[in-house]
């Protein structure tokens, strides 16, 4: 019997479309502010102000899963060798840095979750390795998204990501995964970013979850800093992450965390997705 939390109602989906769009619009606004000299605390404050104007609230500030301290930021700002959950603070961005900003908002009781990578100072500012890591992580996410359809399996999604990432010389972080969401921040299913085709849960229309691969330029091993949240690459190699929230539809997939400023999928993948092919 299918867990009822896995299949969203029409009302749930309507609310989630709004929450997910708003999360993406926060990133649209932050994109204009991410430049050398800006601190991650300033990025966090801008995000809080944007959410206030939207009428949404941050899902992360004060978030406290069992065994963790309360998270202190409105967003996560993960810089260079930080894999995820980087805490905003006084550190100023430098030209050539890469940073992931992860936004989760709550609107009318529903969560919208998305993240993007930015190269500080513009796409040409980062090293060749940094730019390639960011681009390959982006494409790996979209290759996973393109596998989503009724009858497919979660293992198909993970395999597509892993095969592309490792085939391009990057490693896939295994300790963190995508997740279902809706009225709760984290719901089933867990969406691994590695795996074997035809394995794992079979997808059904109405399921909703994030796909959010984290790729490292070096080895996949990670460590958590004493603050209890910040996760870094153990070898201090660069790390990147992109994230979208998706809905399994009757005919395929709908990406919910889309806004005017959201980077489009790679052309060859867009051509396979009706949402973008027109």
Percent of the chain at pLDDT above 90? Answer: 96
Contact 158, 195 (CB under 8 A): yes
3-state secondary structure of 262: coil
Measured distance CA(62)–CA(47) in Å, rounded: 15
Contact 238, 80 (CB under 8 A): yes
What's the pLDDT tens digit per position in 132-145?
Answer: 999 999 999 999 99
Measured distance CA(61)–CA(233) in Å, rounded: 24
Question: Taking 90 as the threshold, does the pLDDT of residue 5 lie above it?
Answer: no
pLDDT at residue 1 in the model: 47
Residue 123: pLDDT band with limits 50, 70, 90: confident
Q: For domain 4-277, is the CATH number 3.90.230.10?
A: yes
Measured distance CA(202)–CA(151) in Å, rounded: 6
What's the pLDDT tens digit per position in 170-208?
Answer: 999 999 999 999 999 999 999 999 999 999 999 999 999
């Amino acid at each position: 019997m299918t867990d009822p939390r896995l299949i969203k109602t029409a009302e749930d989906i309507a609310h989630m479309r709004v929450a997910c769009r708003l999360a993406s619009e926060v990133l649209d606004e932050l994109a204009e502010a991410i430049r050398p000299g800006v601190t991650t605390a300033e990025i966090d404050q801008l995000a809080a102000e944007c959410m206030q104007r939207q009428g949404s609230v941050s899902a992360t500030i004060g978030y406290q899963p069992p065994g963790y301290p309360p998270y202190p930021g409105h967003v996560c700002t993960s810089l260079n060798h930080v894999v995820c959950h980087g805490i905003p603070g006084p550190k100023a961005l430098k030209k050539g840095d890469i940073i992931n900003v992860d936004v989760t908002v709550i609107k009318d009781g529903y969560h919208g979750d998305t993240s993007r990578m930015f190269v500080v100072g513009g796409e040409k500012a980062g090293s060749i390795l940094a730019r390639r890591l960011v681009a390959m992580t982006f494409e790996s996410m979209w290759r996973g998204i393109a596998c989503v359809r009724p009858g497919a399996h979660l293992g198909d999604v993970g395999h597509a990501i892993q095969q592309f990432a490792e085939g391009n010389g990057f490693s896939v972080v295994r300790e963190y995964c995508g997740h279902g969401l809706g009225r709760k921040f984290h719901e089933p299913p867990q969406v691994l970013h590695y795996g074997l085709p035809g394995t794992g849960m079979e997808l059904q229309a109405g399921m909703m979850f994030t796909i959010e691969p984290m790729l490292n330029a070096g080895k996949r091993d990670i460590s958590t800093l004493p603050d209890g949240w910040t996760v870094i690459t153990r070898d201090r190699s660069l790390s990147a992450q992109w994230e979208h929230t998706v809905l399994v539809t009757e005919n395929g997939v709908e990406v919910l965390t889309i806004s005017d400023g959201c980077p489009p999928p790679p052309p060859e993948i867009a051509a396979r997705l009706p949402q973008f092919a027109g």
